[in-house]
């Protein structure tokens, strides 16, 4: 039997609090990457204005740094997802370095299967909106299967679909509603924290804009494991409670 939505939210929150310190080094990497990307624009403006470097070389250098940071961000997210699996299964946790080593092989398959799933969803949405929505839920766990099951082929599409078929709506609301609840909390924090900062320090309008973007980015990163936990818990809950084919069961 699938967990109720309230149980899923509660377990996700409890696991988030329990593992936040364990995930802190990975969140630090994401925060550092975000802050570097955040200030790259200012660095580019400075280099264009006060150095003899061409605009093309500056833009190219910044683009390469952004690509590298994006790659690191994806890799770090995969490492966090893997850790949620190990915690969920009470397995031995690797150290910081080993977490990256054990997920490096997942990066390219994740990228390729994400493109394939996106293409399937877009095609379904172009034909008619409903198929696109159905496909999005069917293949939601394709990339998680790469990490959890160490499978990198097209069979992941079938495995992900098998988790959902026969209970599409039940899975859909359990995938979506916890994230809406968490997102509401993120939005509230993103409004309250800048308001508190503004009232205390009374910054200029330009600084307010910078503060808003910085705070929103930091909150998004710090709450990322909460969203991942929701998916991890539901994945293993669905896997451990498969749909029983009544016809097969009676034979």
Helix (H) or strand (E) holding 240: helix 224-240
Q: Please state whether 245 falls in left (phi above 0), alpha (psi between -120 and 50) or beta.
A: beta
Band of residue 206 on the pLDDT scale cut at 50, 70, 90: low
Structure tokens at 232: 């991890």
Whole-prediction pTM: 0.89
Band of residue 246 on the pLDDT scale cut at 50, 70, 90: very low
Helix (H) or strand (E) holding 130: helix 129-138
Q: How far apart are CA 178 and CA 7, in angstroms?
A: 10
Q: Please state whether 4 falls in left (phi above 0), alpha (psi between -120 and 50) or beta.
A: beta
Contact between 172 and 206 under an 8 Å Cβ cutoff? The reply is no
**pLDDT tens, position by position, 71-126:** 999 999 999 999 999 999 999 999 999 999 999 999 999 999 999 999 999 988 88
Contact between 82 and 103 under an 8 Å Cβ cutoff? The reply is yes
């Amino acid at each position: 039997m699938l967990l109720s939505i309230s149980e899923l939210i509660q377990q996700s929150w409890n696991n988030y609090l329990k593992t936040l310190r364990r995930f802190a080094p990975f969140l630090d990497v994401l925060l550092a990457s975000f802050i570097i990307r955040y200030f790259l624009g200012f660095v580019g403006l400075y280099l264009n204005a006060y150095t003899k470097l061409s605009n093309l070389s500056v833009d190219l250098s910044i683009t390469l740094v952004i690509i590298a940071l994006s790659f690191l961000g994806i890799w770090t997210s995969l490492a966090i997802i893997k850790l949620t699996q190990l915690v969920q299964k009470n397995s031995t946790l690797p150290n910081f370095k080993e977490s990256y080593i054990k997920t490096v092989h997942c990066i390219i398959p994740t990228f390729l299967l994400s493109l394939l799933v996106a293409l399937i969803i877009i095609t379904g949405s172009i034909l008619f909106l409903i198929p696109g929505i159905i496909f999005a839920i069917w293949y939601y766990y394709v990339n998680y299967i790469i990490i959890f099951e160490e499978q990198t082929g097209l069979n992941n599409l079938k495995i992900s679909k098998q988790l959902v078929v026969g209970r599409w709506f039940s899975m859909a609301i359990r995938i979506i509603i916890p994230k809406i609840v968490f997102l509401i909390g993120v939005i509230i924090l993103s409004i309250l924290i800048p308001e508190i900062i503004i009232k205390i320090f009374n910054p200029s309008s330009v600084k307010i804009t910078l503060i808003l973007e910085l705070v929103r980015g930091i909150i998004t990163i710090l709450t990322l494991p909460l969203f991942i936990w929701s998916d991890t818990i539901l994945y293993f809950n669905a896997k451990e409670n498969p749909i029983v084919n009544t016809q097969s069961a009676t034979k």
